[in-house]
Amino acid sequence: MDRRQFMVGASVAAVGTAVAVTGIPPFDDMPTAAAAGEERFSARGRAVVIQKVGKSAHAVINGRHGVHLERMLDGYATHLLPFGTYKSPRKLIEAVIQAEDAGLLII
Amino acid sequence: MTGTRRNILSLSAGEVQRLTSAFNVLKANGTYDHFIRKHVEAMSIATPAGSTRNAAHRAPAFLPWHRATLLDMENALQAVDPSIEGMPYWRWQDEARLNGGDPRRSRLWTAGGIGGDGDPARGNRVLNGPFAHWVALIVNNSTGAVVPRPTPGLIRLLGRDPRGSRGLPPPSQVTDAIDRYSTYDRSPWDASVATFRNRMEGWSGGPRMHNLVHRWVGGDMLAGTSPNDPVFWLTHCNVDRLWWVWQGMRGITNYQPVSGGPTGHNLNDTMQGLVVPRTPADVLDINRLTYRYV
């Protein structure tokens, strides 16, 4: 699923909640206040906000860069590191950030 | 063209050199990078939107899609150098046994092979071998662009990538997939099913098989741009060979789904994100594709 497709799904899933996830990249419209199902942490110098939306999750890194996460098997997966799953959204995002620092991708 | 695909460890030094030289020609003229971009494209086509499947993975077309792209790359290599017999395969399941339990010692990972492990002191970049000068392509997730990595050199972390796995699949995993799974695939046609396709891909009971090889090589092989590293082709050639072994036991034409599955994954659907569009039905019988495994 590309980002635009995710955003369509996310917009539908967010109806009736306090989260209004609409628009297109660069994902600068995420809520600034903590919300239910939201996790905030820092990893390797980046500020990360993860918002769970139905069976998916969306991470915003440094308030701008978005990464879509998919619930898969007993964990979470992303097309950026497509050959495994991670136990939690946080573990996955930490791996993606490590991968960026290793030069494998740009978030 | 016709192909005779052999174990890469059985090739002479001259044969390996001709193969890697042809890869270098394709890299220099942009053909190789086109294959990388098509793999990324296939990865980004969710089937359907919102599912965990994509055009080439986590779904039935995993095996035919990669058979098709292998064939296209093999044809491209032979167009550069007709003396290349075919795409060689890498029997990753044998490497631990052949190398005293340490597959990093394989002569595949030498300057005369496809280059060694990455240098931890130099960003895990491969500094020797025929591809040491290659500029990898990486995905910019913010823009969707596939762009050159600023620093030349492939990245490998054989068995030591913190995002990967410590070991290669043992022969028992190969036996398990071929002997125990008689059904090619089944609904819901995704990473959750216990079928031959999914055992080979490595989600069922995983990480194992194909996924585990990507994870063991690590570095560039961990990303959607994994064809950056030519070991991608050798790895998938072995996956394709094992599918052909299974087809010899279970039948060539028992691909599933025939219909009713995700778009791009049914028997007569055009698979998405290939260099040369083909259907799964087009690639089931390697005799018709005029290559063979020895």
**ipTM of the complex, rounded to two decimals:** 0.94
Distance (Å, rounded) from C-alpha B230 to C-alpha B68? 16
Contacts of A6 in chain B (CB under 8 A): 50
The Cα of B273 is separated from the nearest Cα of chain A by a number of Å equal to: 14
What number of C-beta contacts closer than 8 Å exist between A and B?
Answer: 98
Q: How many domains does chain B have?
A: 1
Farthest CA pair distance, chain A? 40
CB contact under 8 A, A104 and B138: yes
Compute CA distances B235 → A64, B52, B148, whole Å: 37, 23, 23
Domain of A10 in residue numbering reads as 3-101
CATH number for the domain that contains residue B228: 1.10.1280.10
Question: What's the average model confidence in pLDDT over A63-78?
Answer: 92
Q: Walk along chain B (294 residues) and give the pLDDT tens digit of each residue.
A: 679 999 999 999 999 999 999 999 999 999 999 999 999 999 999 999 989 999 999 999 999 999 999 999 999 999 999 999 999 999 999 999 999 999 999 999 999 999 999 999 999 999 999 999 999 999 999 999 999 999 999 999 999 999 999 999 999 999 999 999 999 999 999 999 999 999 999 999 999 999 999 999 999 999 999 999 999 999 999 999 999 999 999 999 999 999 999 999 999 999 999 999 999 999 999 999 999 999
Q: How many domains does chain A have?
A: 1
Output b/e per residue, B183-210; b: 16+ Cβ within 10 A: ebbbeebbbebebbbbbbbbbbebbbbb
Q: Most B CBs within 10 Å: which of A3, A24, A104, A107, as the mutation test of the B interface? A: A104
B127 and B119 Cβ atoms separated by less than 8 Å: yes
Residues of B with CB under 8 A from a CB of A: 43-44, 46, 49-52, 54, 57-58, 123-124, 138-144, 147, 149, 151, 155, 162-164, 191-192, 202-203, 207, 210-211, 214-215, 219-220, 222-226
pTM of the model: 0.91
Q: Which ranges in chain B belong to alpha helices (H)?
A: 13-28, 31-43, 62-80, 95-98, 171-180, 196-201, 209-217, 231-250
Domain of B10 in residue numbering reads as 3-293
| Amino acid B181: pLDDT | 98
